[in-house]
Amino acid sequence: MAPFPTIHLSFAEQAARRPDKPLFELPGGRSVTYRETARTVRRIAARLVADGVRPGDRVAMQVEKSPEAIALYLATLQVGGVFLPLNTAYTGAEMEYFVQDAGPRVLVVAPERLADHAHRADARLTVETLGTSGDGSLLDGEGEHAQVHAAEAGDPAAILYTSGTTGRSKGAVLSHGNLASNCAALVESWRFTEDDRLIHALPVFHVHGLFVAANMVLTTGASMHYLTKFDAGTVLGLMPRSTVLMGVPTFYTRLLAAEELTPASCASMRLFVSGSAPLLASDHEAFEARTGHAILERYGMTETGMNTTNPYEGGPRKPGTVGKALPGTRVRVVDAGTGKPLPDGEVGSIEVHGPNVFTGYWQMPEKTASEFREDGFFITGDLGRIDEDGYLRIVGRGKDLVISGGLNVYPKEVEEALDAHPEVLESAVIGVPHPDFGETVVAVVVPAVAGGRPEESELLAFVAPALARFKHPRAVRVVESLPRNVMGKVQKAELRKRYDGLFTGPDA
Ligand code: MLC
Ligand code: AMP
């Protein structure tokens, strides 16, 4: 029987077929070919094996974006390891939790952060370094490991942490089958081919940048302009030499603010994709009016990869909708309480079933069980309805979550950090509209002593060691008490209404 075609095997096949083709086009004109990447993958694989990585072992990475970071991902899959990418913005306290919880065999960090992590090294954990200019201990050896671990579809390939509405972050375990099937469905749906040149300006530690964008390039033999971060001017400059852009809504808001965005600047582009957060219908319409391109919006999440997409062809790309289920995936809207499917048009809980849906939360069987229905559908926590054309519209979230610039912030985590301050009795953290990030974090704080006035700067400095920068409140409001319902539950909807115009209103 042929081995299961993992992302690694599909990449290796492309590398054998087109060794001299550039895979990464880097700022400054340097490129890295498929052959060079395949060699780096084998070198890193040798290092991982020497470090004791065996099938099933976790390999954690917190490094800046580089071609070698992608090679580390592929090498981990090659040796049967489980890849655990971590946001570079995470603080020491956040990293401590992930490392303790996941128990990786190897932790790869940026050379300049080695001192922060060296103490973690022991008989069970090796700390390696990887820089952005081909430096770092991970690349020290010249030896190559060519043997490929024959993974099965159900074997774990990656763990991605997603915070919880209660308690600590959960590691979503994604299998080789999850990654490969979702990638194939997207390649087919978006007609992605070896002729594509993708503008890759997303981070590579989340589903969007890694399992959507990078996987599609790696498995089709395409090329990518590989940028360390999103910059509207740089992206506009690359568009005449590119075919596809994948981004979060903030990318499009920022592009719309640039005069250079014209039909001519998009002449060679065939597809603009948006996801990870809601794209304003008005931005969709403005973009089409300016460029002639209807942005294709799709919907996904860490636990499921991509679920739905607007059509590439054969139907309109409707603003404010996320389209229909991808091939092989089923999506339904049900009554959250009973689990019974609702008629089209009614708002309910969005649930998903298919080969894209993760295998469970790392070492949390009860939590996993509680988020699946008996018939195997996963409860996403999003609320939506199916419209008259059969398209899914996301209308809200059942989970208490803020999405800022495509990054998830769980209010609970921020509230816990604030509540630990001696001058704070309690706090409620909400998301309010923001012109750049879509939504941003606002903290409403009750002082420990009536009439007290905890300083905003003091509170922010206090939470900084605990929380990555993108989770920090962008405004703090001190109130006498929080609005509560008869059950005593904080009415966040009321707070959201009260502070709705903080960043977008007339006085913003
Ligand atoms: C950066 N900052 C943010 C932020 N990104 N703050 C809140 N939310 C964010 N998303 C901070 C910086 O630390 C900085 O802090 C300040 O804001 C301004 O930074 P910037 O230079 O303007 O930010 P920039 O680097 O341009 O980043 C903005 C961004 C980036 C939107 C381009 O955050 C981004 O690439 N987001 C995409 C995240 C992503 O990949 N999501 C997909 C998850 S997968 P200071 O200290 O200077 O004030 C998923 C599933 C799915 O959701 O469906 O895809
Ligand atoms: P994450 O856990 O980071 O993967 O974030 C997943 C969440 O992002 C989903 O559960 C949705 O709430 C949200 N999301 C992703 N894509 C979209 C979209 N196109 N429109 C609205 N929300 C989205």
| CA distances in angstroms from 154 to 106, 176, 177, 298, listed in the order given | 23, 6, 6, 25
Superfamily classification of domain 316-397: Luciferase; Domain 3 (2.30.38.10)
Cα-Cα-Cα-Cα dihedral sign, residues 241, 243, 247, 253: positive
Residue 337 neighbours by CB under 8 Å, 6+ apart: none
Residues 181-222 have pLDDT tens digits of 999 999 999 999 999 999 999 999 999 999 999 999 999 999
In 22-65, at which residue ranges do the beta strands (DSSP E only) sit? Answer: 22-25, 31-33, 58-62
Q: What is the pLDDT of residue 508?
A: 83
Q: What is the pLDDT of residue 167?
A: 62
- pLDDT > 90 fraction of the chain, expressed in percent and rounded: 95
The answer to whether domain 7-175 and domain 401-498 are alike in fold is: no
Distance 306 CA to ligand 2 centre (A): 10
Residue 211 neighbours by CB under 8 Å, 6+ apart: 158, 174, 179, 182, 183, 305
Q: Which residue has the tokens 């390891």?
A: 81
Ligand nearest to the CA of 310: 2
Please state, in angstroms and rounded to a whole number, the distance separating the CA atoms of residues 253 and 284: 9
Residues 206-217 have pLDDT tens digits of 999 999 999 999
Distance 17 CA to ligand 1 centre (A): 36
Mean predicted lDDT score pLDDT of the chain:
97
Q: Are residues 444 and 456 in contact, defined by beta-carbon separation less than 8 angstroms?
A: no
pTM: 0.96
Pocket test for ligand 2, best of 403, 407, 408, 437 (most atoms within 8 A of CB): 403
Whether ligand 1 lies within 6 angstroms of the CB of 248 is answered as yes
Q: Are residues 69 and 36 in contact, defined by beta-carbon separation less than 8 angstroms?
A: no
Chain centroid, CA 378 distance in Å: 18
The residue whose C-alpha atom lies closest to atom 15 belonging to ligand 1 is 469
Q: Which letter does DSSP use for residue 372 in this model?
A: B
How big is the chain by its Cα radius of gyration, in Å? 23
The residue whose C-alpha atom lies closest to atom 23 belonging to ligand 2 is 277
Please state, in angstroms and rounded to a whole number, the distance separating the CA atoms of residues 412 and 400: 8
In this structure, which long-range contacts are made by residues 284-288, counting pairs with CB atoms below 8 Å and at least 24 apart in sequence?
284/317, 284/319, 284/320, 285/319, 286/256, 287/252, 287/255, 287/256
Distance 180 CA to ligand 2 centre (A): 20
Q: Where are the domains of the chain?
A: 7-175, 316-397, 401-498
Q: Looking at the predicted structure, is the pLDDT value of residue 57 above 80?
A: yes
Residues 34-50 have pLDDT tens digits of 999 999 999 999 999 99
Pocket test for ligand 2, best of 182, 301, 470 (most atoms within 8 A of CB): 301
Q: What is the pLDDT of residue 166?
A: 65
Residue 171 neighbours by CB under 8 Å, 6+ apart: 84, 98, 101, 102, 159, 160, 161, 361, 362, 363
Q: Are residues 227 and 66 in contact, defined by beta-carbon separation less than 8 angstroms?
A: no
Instruction: Provide the CATH number for the domain formed by 7-175 in this structure.
Output: 3.40.50.980
Residues 336-365 have pLDDT tens digits of 999 999 999 999 999 999 999 999 999 999
Residue 374 neighbours by CB under 8 Å, 6+ apart: none
| CATH of the structural domain 401-498, one choice from 3.30.300.30, 3.40.50.620, 1.20.1290.10, 3.40.50.2300 | 3.30.300.30
Distance 200 CA to ligand 1 centre (A): 15
Beta partners for 146?
none
